[in-house]
């Protein structure tokens, strides 16, 4: 059986040999991955003479059977989810180099609709003409036939690893956009480990069927690693359904290709915006994981989102965030798909969803909805510089509608910012990696559910507050007397209006009498304007006080610096 690293190197070298000079390095993946898919499909169709059987069946029925019935007949006959009715494959294309472009088009057109959909979304046409015009289309087809991807040589597991390795390499060559569709494997492994960490007891034995869904699935890494983890560490006999939706056509095609290659259901990967074009409307899933885009506008989805926000049963009825960042919309979308028996959700965020927005804002109302429903289980602060295209702070949120008894009414915070190894060289902005040892340490903190220097546990209401309006009387500018209305009630001076955030755990009147009234005796609270808000100020909970240095230490340091500067000045003067 082939080694995936050696096979990935072989494919990589093919790309570099043929494409160098004609294409920019960041384009290599756009061309190579579709050809890798085509070669794998050719090799699969070689098994049991599937190709010959397909052509025979097609020629037999094409005149007498309705066209829409032929795919089902062929698929049943060859026991495959795809087929190709063309006389050509990549190997046979070599036999007629003078007509390579015409025959290549015939070859692509012969594939079943599922594969044509993948190739179309790869947008391969934009490269084929350039390859052909430079006499490299024949060479590229020829080179790929040297790579043996027959299932007897490369099983589905190895093939999936090859695909992932090439995705990683091509993404590293395109650092400007790699983070948009590619989540580093160390981050995915941590997210998946957290999602399944406490899920082993009830998932043993036969007949276990579970679903994993990603609404921003990109190239599918989270889905495949999620299934791999489940099979290896929980139940190898379980049936795991992988489902996802992706907005970017090329990422969608890559993901769908991966599903087809490893014999998953490619129909479970769908194209379009999860926010405005939910392709899984009404469906529910057991596990949901995603890394939505950071700080990306949702204005293109605005009409549908706002319509659903006005519907009490809509996905976004809890609130809508500012239009410049739709991250919390994806979380609401996922929470709307929880099962009655209990689902688990893992999502990667930047810091904004933790605290952006004051009481009553869309962001705060979404946090309030989540926390008051007791769905937020844990938040983990990750090391910086984990991603290819950003060095900002990131967090993993774990949510569920089926908390264990000890976790009910509580939220766990884990500070894992120091749990990483440095990298010998940067990959874009990425220069930190979470090792398997660090993942184990973080999982131990999570499952132990005990307070330590790196773990804090709070009740839900700890993160909530009431925003209370504090008014002061309007005074006449000449006399200084308090201005009142017809009923003799003091009119508030809007210029002096202030606000207090009173923790939900405190009595508002007692807080006011203690913290406000002594300092502003003429003030009063307008309780009709009360607003409840929620925010999670992560850094505050793990702040460690560092004592200030003594005056003597500072003086000694200044004297030492002064002596050094005098010495340098004397050296300059002597020159």
> What pLDDT shows up at residue 419?
94
* Contact between residue 408 and residue 402 where contact means Cβ atoms under 8 Å apart: no
Q: How far apart are the first and last CA of the chain?
A: 72
Decide the pairing of beta strands 421-427 and 430-433.
antiparallel
Got the DSSP string for 254-274? HHHHHHHHTT--GGGEEES-T
* Cβ count near 411 (within 10 Å): 21
What are the tokens at 126? Answer: 């934009």
What distance in Å separates the CA atoms of residue 72 and residue 57, rounded to the nearest whole number? Answer: 11
Q: Which of 228, 316, 226 is nearest to 276 (CA)?
A: 316
262-300 tens-digit pLDDT: 888 999 999 999 999 999 999 999 999 999 988 889 999
Residue position matching structure tokens 């015409």: 102
Please name the residues in contact with 104: beta carbons below 8 A apart, sequence gap of 6 or more.
88, 93, 128, 132, 137, 141
Q: Which of 312, 423, 313, 306 is nearest to 362 (CA)?
A: 306
| 107-to-147, 188, 319 alpha-carbon distances in Å | 19, 37, 50
Please name the residues in contact with 469: beta carbons below 8 A apart, sequence gap of 6 or more.
497, 498, 499, 525, 526, 529, 530
Give Cα 229 distance to the centre of its chain: 17
Coil, strand or helix at 349: strand
* Phi, psi values for residue 451, rounded to 5°: -70, 130
Got the DSSP string for 165-187? HHHHHHHHTTHHHHHHH---HHH
Got the DSSP string for 407-474? GTTEEEEEE-TT--EEEEEEETTEEEE--HHHHHHHHHHHHHT--BTTEEEEEGGGGEEEEEEEE-B-
* Contact between residue 184 and residue 388 where contact means Cβ atoms under 8 Å apart: yes
Question: Given CA atoms 6, 8, 12, 14 in this order, what sign does their dihedral have?
Answer: positive
Residue position matching structure tokens 């207090």: 500
> What pLDDT shows up at residue 176?
46
Residues making up the chain, counted from first to last? 575
Question: Given CA atoms 240, 243, 248, 252 in this order, what sign does their dihedral have?
Answer: positive
480-504 tens-digit pLDDT: 899 999 888 999 999 999 999 999 9
* Cβ count near 209 (within 10 Å): 9
- pTM as predicted: 0.87
Q: Which of 12, 17, 6 is nearest to 33 (CA)?
A: 12
> What pLDDT shows up at residue 115?
93
> What pLDDT shows up at residue 68?
87
- In which order are the strands placed within the sheet that holds 455-459? 269-271, 239-246, 209-214, 287-290, 344-350, 394-400, 376-381, 410-415, 455-459
> What pLDDT shows up at residue 177?
44
* Contact between residue 293 and residue 272 where contact means Cβ atoms under 8 Å apart: no
Question: Given CA atoms 357, 361, 363, 364 in this order, what sign does their dihedral have?
Answer: positive
What distance in Å separates the CA atoms of residue 72 and residue 62, rounded to the nearest whole number? Answer: 13
Q: How many CA atoms lie within 13 A of 190 on its CB side?
A: 33
Domain with residues 174-449, CATH architecture: 3-Layer(aba) Sandwich (3.40)
Decide the pairing of beta strands 344-350 and 287-290.
parallel
Q: Which of 29, 225, 10, 34 is nearest to 124 (CA)?
A: 34
pLDDT in 10s for each residue of the chain, 575 residues: 567 888 888 888 888 889 988 998 888 888 998 999 999 999 999 988 999 999 999 999 988 888 889 999 999 999 988 999 999 999 999 889 999 999 999 999 999 998 999 999 999 988 999 999 999 999 999 999 988 888 888 887 788 778 778 877 776 666 544 444 468 889 999 999 999 998 776 788 888 999 999 999 988 889 999 999 999 999 999 999 999 999 999 889 989 988 888 888 999 999 999 999 999 999 999 999 999 988 889 999 999 999 999 999 999 999 999 999 999 999 999 999 999 999 999 999 999 999 999 999 999 999 999 999 999 999 999 999 888 777 788 999 999 999 999 999 999 999 999 999 988 887 767 889 999 999 999 999 999 999 999 999 999 999 999 999 999 999 998 898 999 998 889 999 999 999 999 999 999 999 999 999 999 999 999 999 999 999 999 888 887 666 667 777 788 778 877 776 666 555 555 55
> What pLDDT shows up at residue 182?
67
What distance in Å separates the CA atoms of residue 178 and residue 172, rounded to the nearest whole number? Answer: 7
Please name the residues in contact with 51: beta carbons below 8 A apart, sequence gap of 6 or more.
45, 84, 89
* Contact between residue 51 and residue 68 where contact means Cβ atoms under 8 Å apart: no
Q: Where are the domains of the chain?
A: 4-160, 174-449, 463-539, 548-574
């Amino acid at each position: 059986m082939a080694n995936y690293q050696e096979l990935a190197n072989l494919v990589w070298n093919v790309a570099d040999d043929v494409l160098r000079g004609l294409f920019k390095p960041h384009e290599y993946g756009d061309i190579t991955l579709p050809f890798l898919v085509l070669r794998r499909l050719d090799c699969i169709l070689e098994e049991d003479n599937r190709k010959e059987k397909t052509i025979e069946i097609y020629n037999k029925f094409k005149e007498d059977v309705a066209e829409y019935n032929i795919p089902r007949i062929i698929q049943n006959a060859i026991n495959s989810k795809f087929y190709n009715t063309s006389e050509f494959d990549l190997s046979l294309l070599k036999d007629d180099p003078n007509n390579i472009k015409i025959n290549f088009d015939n070859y692509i057109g012969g594939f079943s609709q599922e594969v044509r959909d993948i190739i179309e979304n790869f947008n391969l046409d934009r490269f084929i003409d350039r390859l052909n015009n430079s006499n490299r289309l024949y060479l590229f087809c020829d080179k790929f036939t040297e790579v043996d991807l027959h299932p007897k040589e490369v099983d589905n597991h190895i093939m999936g690893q090859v695909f992932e390795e090439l995705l990683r390499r091509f993404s590293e060559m395109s650092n400007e956009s790699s983070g948009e569709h590619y989540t580093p494997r160390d981050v995915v492994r941590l997210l998946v480990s957290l999602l399944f960490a406490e899920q082993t007891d009830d998932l043993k034995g036969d007949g276990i069927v579970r679903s994993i869904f990603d609404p921003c699935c990109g190239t599918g890494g989270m889905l495949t690693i999620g299934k791999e983890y489940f099979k290896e560490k929980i139940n190898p006999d379980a049936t795991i359904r992988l489902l996802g939706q992706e907005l970017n056509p090329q990422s969608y095609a890559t993901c769908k290709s991966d599903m087809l290659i490893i014999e998953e259901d490619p129909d479970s990967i769908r194209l379009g915006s999860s926010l405005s074009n939910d392709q899984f409307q009404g469906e529910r899933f057991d596990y949901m994981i995603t890394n939505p885009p950071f700080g990306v506008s949702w204005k293109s989805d605005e009409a549908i989102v706002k319509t659903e926000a006005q519907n009490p049963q809509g996905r976004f009825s809890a609130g809508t965030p500012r239009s410049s960042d739709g991250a919390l919309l994806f979380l609401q979308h996922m929470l709307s798909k929880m099962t009655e028996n209990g689902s688990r959700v893992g999502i990667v965020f930047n810091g904004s969803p933790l605290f952006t927005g004051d009481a009553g804002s869309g962001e705060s109302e979404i946090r309030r909805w989540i926390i008051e429903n007791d769905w937020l289980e844990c938040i983990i602060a990750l090391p910086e510089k984990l991603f290819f295209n950003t060095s900002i702070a990131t967090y993993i949120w774990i949510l569920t509608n089926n908390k264990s008894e000890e976790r009910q009414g509580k939220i766990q915070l884990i500070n894992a910012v120091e749990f990483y190894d440095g990298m010998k060289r940067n990959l874009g902005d990425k220069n930190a990696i979470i090792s398997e040892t660090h993942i184990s340490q973080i999982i131990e903190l999570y499952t132990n559910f005990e307070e330590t220097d790196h773990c804090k546990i709070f009740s839900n209401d700890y993160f909530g507050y009431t925003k209370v309006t504090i008014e002061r009387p309007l005074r006449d500018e000449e006399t200084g007397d308090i201005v009142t209305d017809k009923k003799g009630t003091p009119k508030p001076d809007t210029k002096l209006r202030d606000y207090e955030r009173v923790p939900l755990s405190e009595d508002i009147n007692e807080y006011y009498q203690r913290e406000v009234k002594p300092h502003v005796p003429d003030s009063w609270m307008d309780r009709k304007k009360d607003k409840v808000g929620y925010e999670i100020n992560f850094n505050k909970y793990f702040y460690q006080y560092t004592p200030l240095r003594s005056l003597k230490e500072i003086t000694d340091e200044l004297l030492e610096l002064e002596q050094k500067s005098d010495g340098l000045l004397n050296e300059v003067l002597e020159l």
